[in-house]
């Protein structure tokens, strides 16, 4: 495992940092307050190549590794987590899954538009009664010969209102339970796709999260991803990769809270000296710095393992579990360090604190991550040693 970053990776990190500071920071408080979707910013991110970072250039992507993607996610998440979740879903849940498991025609048709931001993608798994318990899908896709007929309701869909393409998880044969699940590429312009109300959320408020209804949507046969019955494994593999993106987002939130706290601790004086000269504050900064370094190891390691073609299921769950916990803990500490200023919007840390909470929930709650990790460790699966990728067998 080698975490020495290459010149290319450092350049991506610096470009993302620069973009976030210059283009995202100025309007981030207003967008969050008014729940304004960051259309202009997402357009810019598409032009700069942040929306299809890992996709092969022949489909319009950046051809970069997961480590570069993680570094960009981390920097953008220090500033704007609505933009970074839109970026994460598009890159890791939609583009990566399509490129890895889609047909050549599917890739040609959808990836090019998704990489440039002309189209945004959404991953539609969660339902009113199937969030953590992902096999209990009630959405159905009935085989009608030349097409499937899709019916059902999806909840909590990131990019729900802004997306042109959905990857929809549906049950095609209930008797087979999870082996009857398939995933379909659905265009939102098709008849029967209805976008429900936008959620008014605690955090990531300028990203759009919706309920989606599918009413007798005709899905062409060629829009199923993979062999019949491959859908649940597809969802699991894609979520394993997605969790690396969310772990990077959480790392960015913790890093953003830390950087703001360090700067504030130099400026703010109490009892005749900067607050970082008081042990009560200095020790908080020490805890933050230590946890962030530890999280970095887990997050970068999971990206590195994915780039090596190793099994990264446990690694990505560990990274997300740990990074989301420290994002929550240290964004709360950042508010505490800022005192009354931390409680108002102008100082950014209260937004990071609100954004942190969702990283413990979406793409698998912390409890689900513990299920994944514990099942793997109990069956004796190594999590560090090189082992063959399970992508092929998935
Ligand atoms: N790779 C390949 N196959 C996998 C796999 C993986 N990582 N994980 C499980 N599978 C396979 C199993 O091998 C099994 O296959 P076989 O029957 O052929 O052996 C099958 O899938 C079923 O597995 P389990 O018996 O382990 O299934 P389970 O019902 O116990 O659930 C779970 C497992 C890990 C808890 C899963 O349900 C899960 O991940 N739940 C959380 C779902 C989630 O993350 N939801 C978030 C919504 S998406 C989102 O938030 C996006 C957004 O908009 C931001």
Average pLDDT of the residues of the chain = 95
CB within 8 Å of 372: residues ≥ 6 apart:
313, 314, 317, 364
- Ligand 1 lined by 312 (C-beta under 6 Å): no
**The predicted structure's pLDDT at residue 254:** 98
> To test the ligand 1 pocket, which listed residue (122, 134, 208) has its Cβ within 8 A of the most ligand atoms?
134
**The predicted structure's pLDDT at residue 130:** 87
Mean pLDDT of 323-337: 98
Give the other-Cβ count within 10 Å of 245's Cβ: 29
Q: How far is the CA of 232 from the centre of ligand 1 (A)?
A: 7
**The predicted structure's pLDDT at residue 287:** 98
Q: Report which protein residue has its CA nearest ligand 1's atom 43.
A: 364
**The predicted structure's pLDDT at residue 382:** 59
Three-state DSSP at 122 gives strand
Mean pLDDT of 180-208: 97
pLDDT tens profile 26-66? 999 999 999 999 999 999 999 999 999 999 999 999 999 99
Mean pLDDT of 300-327: 96
Task: Name the token pair of 148.
Answer: 């499937």
**The predicted structure's pLDDT at residue 391:** 46
Strand partners, 273: 270
CB distance 234 to 225 below 8 Å: yes
**363 annotated active-site:** yes
pLDDT over 90 (residue 384): no
- Ligand 1 lined by 374 (C-beta under 6 Å): no
pLDDT over 50 (residue 393): no
DSSP state of 141: E
Q: How far is the CA of 236 from the centre of ligand 1 (A)?
A: 5
pLDDT over 60 (residue 2): no
Residue given tokens 């849940």 in the structure block: 93
Give 392's pLDDT tier (boundaries 50, 70, 90). Answer: very low
CB within 8 Å of 386: residues ≥ 6 apart:
308, 310
Mean pLDDT of 238-248: 98
- Ligand 1 lined by 295 (C-beta under 6 Å): no
Mean pLDDT of 363-389: 81
pLDDT tens profile 193-203? 999 999 999 99
pLDDT tens profile 250-309? 999 999 999 999 999 999 999 999 999 999 999 999 999 999 999 999 999 999 999 999
Quote the radius of gyration of the chain (alpha carbons, Å): 21
Paired sense of beta strands 147-158 and 273-274, if any: unpaired
Mean pLDDT of 164-173: 98
Better-scored residue on pLDDT, 134 or 274: 274
Better-scored residue on pLDDT, 384 or 341: 341
Mean pLDDT of 74-96: 98
pLDDT over 60 (residue 383): no
**The predicted structure's pLDDT at residue 4:** 86
Give 131's pLDDT tier (boundaries 50, 70, 90). Answer: confident
Q: How far is the CA of 94 from the centre of ligand 1 (A)?
A: 17
CB distance 123 to 327 below 8 Å: no
pLDDT over 60 (residue 176): yes
pLDDT over 80 (residue 381): no
CB within 8 Å of 343: residues ≥ 6 apart:
335, 350
CB within 8 Å of 336: residues ≥ 6 apart:
284, 342
Task: Name the token pair of 33.
Answer: 């307050």
CB distance 151 to 140 below 8 Å: yes
Better-scored residue on pLDDT, 129 or 193: 193
> To test the ligand 1 pocket, which listed residue (89, 246, 364) has its Cβ within 8 A of the most ligand atoms?
364
Mean pLDDT of 93-105: 98
Q: Report which protein residue has its CA nearest ligand 1's atom 27.
A: 135
Mean pLDDT of 110-127: 97
Mean pLDDT of 161-180: 97
């Amino acid at each position: 495992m080698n975490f020495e970053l290459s010149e290319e990776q450092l350049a991506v990190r610096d470009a993302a940092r620069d973009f976030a500071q210059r283009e995202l920071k100025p309007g981030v408080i207003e967008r969050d307050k008014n729940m304004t979707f960051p259309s202009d910013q997402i357009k810019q991110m598409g032009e700069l190549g942040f929306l299809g970072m890992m996709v092969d250039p022949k489909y319009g992507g950046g051809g970069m590794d997961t480590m570069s993607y993680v570094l960009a996610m981390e920097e953008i998440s220090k500033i704007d987590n609505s933009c970074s979740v839109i970026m994460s879903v598009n890159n890791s849940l939609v583009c990566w899954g399509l490129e890895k498991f889609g047909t050549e025609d599917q890739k040609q048709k959808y990836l090019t538009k998704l990489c440039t931001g002309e189209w945004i993608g959404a991953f539609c798994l969660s339902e009113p009664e199937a969030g953590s318990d992902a096999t209990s899908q009630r959405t159905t896709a009935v085989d009608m010969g030349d097409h499937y007929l899709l019916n059902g309701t999806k909840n909590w869909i990131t990019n729900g209102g802004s997306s042109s393409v959905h990857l929809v998880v549906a049950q095609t044969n209930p008797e087979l339970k999870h082996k009857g699940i398939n995933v379909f590429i659905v265009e939102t312009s098709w008849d029967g796709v209805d976008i429900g109300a936008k959620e008014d959320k605690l955090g990531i408020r300028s990203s759009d999260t919706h309920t989606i209804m599918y009413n007798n949507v005709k899905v062409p046969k060629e829009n199923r991803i993979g062999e019949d019955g491959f859908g649940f494994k597809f969802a699991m593999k894609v979520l394993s990769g997605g969790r690396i993106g969310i772990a990077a987002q959480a790392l960015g939130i913790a890093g953003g809270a830390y950087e703001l706290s360090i700067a504030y601790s130099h400026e703010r004086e109490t009892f005749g000296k900067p607050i970082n000269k008081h042990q009560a504050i200095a020790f908080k900064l020490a805890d933050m710095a230590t946890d962030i370094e530890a999280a970095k190891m887990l997050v970068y390691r999971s990206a590195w393992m994915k780039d090596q073609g190793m099994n990264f299921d446990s690694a990505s769950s560990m990274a997300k579990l740990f990074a989301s916990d420290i994002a929550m803990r240290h964004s709360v500490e950042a508010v505490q360090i800022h005192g009354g200023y931390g409680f108002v919007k102008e100082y950014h840390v209260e937004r990071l604190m609100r954004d942190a909470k969702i990283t413990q929930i979406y793409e698998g709650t912390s409890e689900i991550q513990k299920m994944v990790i514990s099942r793997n460790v109990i069956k004796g699966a190594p999590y560090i040693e090189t082992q063959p990728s399970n992508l092929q067998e998935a």
